[in-house]
Structure 1
Amino acid sequence: MATRIVRSVAQQAARRAARGAVKQATRAVRGALGLAGERMSKVDTAWLRMDSERNLMMIIGVWTLRPRIDYEALCRRVEERLLKYPRFRQHVVEDATGASWVDTPGLDVRQLVVREKLPRGRAGGEQAALQARVGQLAMQPLDRQLPLWRFHLVEDFDGGSALAVRIHHCIADGIALISVVLSLVDGGAPPPQRRARGPAPDGGHWIAESLLKPFTDLSVKAFDAAGAGAARSLHLLDDPRAGLEGSLELARLAYQVAGDSAALLLMPDDSKTLLKGQPEGRKRVAWCAPLPLDEIKAVGKALNCSINDVLLSCVSGAIGEYLRGQGDDPAGKEIRAMVPVNLRPMEQAWKLGNRFGMVPLVLPIGIENPIERIYEVRRRMEALKGSTQPLLAFAVLTVAGLLVKPAQDLLLGLFSDKTTAVITNVPGPREKLRFLGATLEQCMFWVPQSGNIGLGVSILSYGGNVQFGVIADAALCPQPQKIIDAFAPEFAKLSWLTLMLPWGDG
């Protein structure tokens, strides 16, 4: 018995020594080849490799500003503020085992901040011309020899300027980029000084760290106390010595994880609609005038629903109305949307990277009655509270980053093949911001879609309003503006019906 124990310990020690030797040798080879740099996390590597001919993994944003801003002033602000973040002055070098962030020698900010000229006389005016250009930029790959972002300035747009932004998703998620935006605006500050980091932690470490952190406000609104309980319980998986007192909670959580895993793997196919199919790789984007946030809050309060319930009900109604207009009756149909859920404290957003999971939400696009539809959305959102699916999705992305690209595509295809849209809801600043002396009037962004997903819907609260944006593959949705144009009427119907309900006793 003692001999077997000694032999086992010796074997384990030998394996650890071998792994250490391999890591040292790999670092030495990479250093000799000039590839020294910070290793990219497994999750960020998965996003890097998700680029395809049909979908590029870029977050696209547009600012409209009044009065106009100057190109040289923009270059100076980017150099003073944005380049303080290491990620924005580094390019990516891939190798057989992953990728690294490497400082870009001789970087000139004017390589990354470019001037744009919109064609004149286009039908629909300047906004249509800007939307068309943003659609082109959404499928224009970023040069891998430079940092994976670009600013495109239209100096003269609608009495001011427009700034289009492209940032690869491997740099950061939407919540982290809000922190970047706040550092760029007037009165903003550069990121906190950070100590030098060692090699990027492996996926298991990041999963454990994410589970140890309490959900941020955005996550709590979606998953409430059960989600936080799940985070505390999963810590036991990382530290079995935490004690037997957590065994019952761990058993409950294990049961829940098994159920949530099965739900993810066994998701039924979406209803067949014009929005589901094979993308062709041409993008169209659209946005509308924002809706007042106070009115949305008032409707939600009157119906005992959350703001998210109201917004997602309007999204469902707008998509259903669009399909009716295209001769595709949505009655009895529903589509699945992947909704990102933040997994990190907001105070750590400046560290960038991707720290979010995904939860599948089935939208009842076939319910035409706005009141019936919002209560169905609320019921489905309630059913997701306490789900561990965001954590499982994060784990899947981590595993995907360990695989070669064909295997990664196959794994992630399990999600994209059963999904019609990606919907992101990001809380922005409550007051309008100023940038280089100009007022940031409108702020829009569009999320990337992976695999065969052809529709992205973005919801951003900013300056007391809520802004909707849609990006779509031209083969599946050639006129996304028609979806956008249905948002305001859908909210108006919900608002009128709310006012008509018998609230009093008499």
Structure 2
Amino acid sequence: MSDFLFGDLSPSTAILGILLGMLLAVVSCGLGAVMPRLLKPTVTASGEKKEYMDLVSNGQVLFDDNRKEGQTCVHSAQIFEKQVDFNAFSKQFCKIYGSNGRFGQRLVNKGDERPYWIKPDPYWRPEDNISCVTDRTDHKGFEEMLGKMCATPLPLSQPLWQLVYFQNYVREDNGELTSAFIWKYHHSMADGFTAMRHTCSHCVPVAEGQKMEDVFIKPKAGAKRSRPSLLTIAKKTVTAFCKLVFLPKDPVSPCKPNYTQHHGSKRATAFTYLGEEFSVAKIKEIAHSATTTDHKKSVNDVLLAAISRALGMYCEEKKDKMDNVKIPENFQSAMWVSLDRASPFKFEEGERRWGNEGLGVCYLSLPIGVKSAVDQLNIVYHRIRDLIGSPEPLLANKLQALIALLPYPIAHFLWPRVTDKVTLSISNVPGPQAQLRWPVNRDEDLKEQIPRSGIIRDMLFFVPPVYDIGIMASIISYNNRVNVGMTTAGEWIDQDDVHHIIYDLVPRAMRDIRDGVASCENTE
């Protein structure tokens, strides 16, 4: 199989790849032409219009481990720079988000037909989904609440979102009181990338005169790449398809001690700011120092290598507690990718604003059993570069859509068998590199909205693990600050252990990489 996937391309393989590509193209075009007819809006018995979702979002509903216990939800955790009055914030939030789009609709999932959205019950109000904690809450308490929310299902009787506001959040760095919140919503409403765009579409830079388009990292123009040959495209297509369909499950390890999560299992969550020691600027310096003539490292390479190394350290610490378990050399990870090419900070007129239609995923093999931090960084670099230009995210998107189109019992059987091959799921989002005020309506007077909004200090997005995926690692860079977090299946990796990974092992891994790169520089 390895020769088939990575060896010299044979004529038969090339032909297979071309035929497969043609088949997928036909299927994709067919879905685009047929689905509007198949999902033509109908009405309920009472005459209310049903609004169907895109197929990938439909798959996110199928991904629910159990309709009562294992919903797939996005959790946005944000901390303000200063205190913001809850009543004022709630009023502003409800005005901008509370009853708009999917936030003002109810999901119906009966199992005998496609899930659909309808209006909520007449007595429902957005304020019903918002609560406030007035007690002083430190970061540990904030993390515990996040873990509870990750494990608690949302009621299907009302719109699938919830916001818990902390009026008196105690900052970790200086003990001052500020405010924070956790905003939870079902994944079928929007993926994490769309959630970031939703956030940024209702933000303004704090610095006077600064524009939103100026605060995002702009990729530098690299060398022009030659157009790949048909044989190269065929090989990449075959490789991607085989990975998505035939890749075996990761072996049992301390990060994945068994293949069955119990229904209603707990979730453990930890996240932190890496500090000035590892700001975006400092990590760029590490990446620059690790760059060789032909291999230009990035912030993304360093951060993913640190996650790999931290998990490897954790496995080494726990290996003696598991009988007959060998620590694998690699973990398979699901790295989520946005297929959208739209503005990161606003929605254009007529653009899709809800759902997961632009969500793709690729499998990234992370080196766990490598002792040298520099070698680990180099391996991650090469494996990420191997994925550049791969059709894997697009194929995964179409495969999810195809499965979601099948009859419900078949789709519900197939979905986890395609998605649970990995040990962890990873989201790495390069956010805006300036402080932002949120939530605001840019079309209205900003001065009037200042008392009802806050300056974001830290933010992070979480999707708790479901099925056999036990870890979700999340990274976001914002305003030169890097936040790293992790949510886990609590019966596999408990709260103390996930806290240890994020607060101790990830910073230690970052220092290993930094010091290893510096040592290599000194010996040259």
Q: Deviations over 1:140-169 (max 9, x none)?
A: 111222211111101111111120110111
> Which of 369, 372, 378 is matched with 1:369 structurally?
372
Alpha-carbon separation, structure 2, partners of 1:138 and 1:252: 42
> Which of 183, 201, 216 is matched with 1:165 structurally?
183
Residue 273 (structure 2) aligns with: 289
Residue 469 (structure 1) aligns with: 485
Where in structure 2 are the equivalents of 1:215-294 lying within 5 Å?
A: 249=230, 253-276=233-256, 277=258, 278-280=260-262, 281-290=265-274, 291-294=278-281
- The structural deviation recorded for 1:254 is 4.2
**Residues 252, 293 of structure 1: CA spacing in aligned structure 2 closer, same or farther, 3 A cutoff?**
closer
Q: 1:302 is paired with a residue of what secondary structure?
A: helix
Asked if 1:344 corresponds to 2:340, the answer is yes
Asked if 1:424 corresponds to 2:427, the answer is yes
Alpha-carbon separation, structure 2, partners of 1:502 and 1:300: 12
> Which of 415, 419, 425 is matched with 2:418 structurally?
415
Asked if 1:309 corresponds to 2:279, the answer is no
Q: 2:184 is paired with a residue of what secondary structure?
A: strand
Asked if 1:154 corresponds to 2:166, the answer is yes
Residue 143 (structure 2) aligns with: 131
Alpha-carbon separation, structure 2, partners of 1:23 and 1:303: 53
Q: 2:343 is paired with a residue of what secondary structure?
A: helix
**Residues 504, 24 of structure 1: CA spacing in aligned structure 2 closer, same or farther, 3 A cutoff?**
closer
8 Å CA contact 2:59–2:400 kept in 1: the answer is: yes
- The structural deviation recorded for 1:393 is 0.8
**Residues 261, 487 of structure 1: CA spacing in aligned structure 2 closer, same or farther, 3 A cutoff?**
same
> Which of 502, 506, 515 is matched with 1:484 structurally?
502
Q: Deviations over 1:178-230 (max 9, x none)?
A: 12112344579xxxxxxxxxxxxxxxxxxxxxxxxxxx9999999x969xx79
Q: 2:140 is paired with a residue of what secondary structure?
A: helix
Residue 286 (structure 2) aligns with: 299
Q: Deviations over 1:468-504 (max 9, x none)?
A: 0100011111121111021111111211222222458
Q: TM-score, normalised by structure 1?
A: 0.78
Residue 241 (structure 1) aligns with: none
> Which of 454, 461, 464 is matched with 1:438 structurally?
454
Residue 494 (structure 1) aligns with: 513
8 Å CA contact 1:322–1:483 kept in 2: the answer is: yes
Q: 2:486 is paired with a residue of what secondary structure?
A: strand
Alpha-carbon separation, structure 1, partners of 2:482 and 2:38: 51
8 Å CA contact 1:69–1:155 kept in 2: the answer is: yes
Residue 453 (structure 1) aligns with: 469
8 Å CA contact 2:403–2:415 kept in 1: the answer is: yes
8 Å CA contact 2:437–2:456 kept in 1: the answer is: yes
Residue 320 (structure 1) aligns with: 312
Report percent identity of matched pairs. Answer: 22
Deviates more, 1:379-388 or 1:435-444: 435-444
Asked if 1:380 corresponds to 2:383, the answer is yes
Deviates more, 1:495-504 or 1:156-165: 495-504
Residue 3 (structure 2) aligns with: none
Alpha-carbon separation, structure 2, partners of 1:411 and 1:24: 21
Q: TM-score, normalised by structure 2?
A: 0.75
List alignment gaps of at least 5 residues for structure 2.
1-32, 171-176, 207-215, 292-296, 348-352, 439-451
Matching residue's letter, 2:83: R
**Residues 140, 365 of structure 1: CA spacing in aligned structure 2 closer, same or farther, 3 A cutoff?**
same
Alpha-carbon separation, structure 2, partners of 1:483 and 1:225: 39
Alpha-carbon separation, structure 2, partners of 1:306 and 1:26: 45
List alignment gaps of at least 5 residues for structure 1.
1-18, 189-215, 231-247
8 Å CA contact 2:465–2:489 kept in 1: the answer is: no
- The structural deviation recorded for 1:39 is 1.7
- The structural deviation recorded for 1:34 is 3.3
- The structural deviation recorded for 1:426 is 0.8
Spell out structure 1 runs of 4+ moving beyond 6 A. 22-26, 216-222
Q: 2:252 is paired with a residue of what secondary structure?
A: coil
**Residues 447, 218 of structure 1: CA spacing in aligned structure 2 closer, same or farther, 3 A cutoff?**
farther
Q: 1:177 is paired with a residue of what secondary structure?
A: helix
Deviates more, 1:338-347 or 1:97-106: 97-106
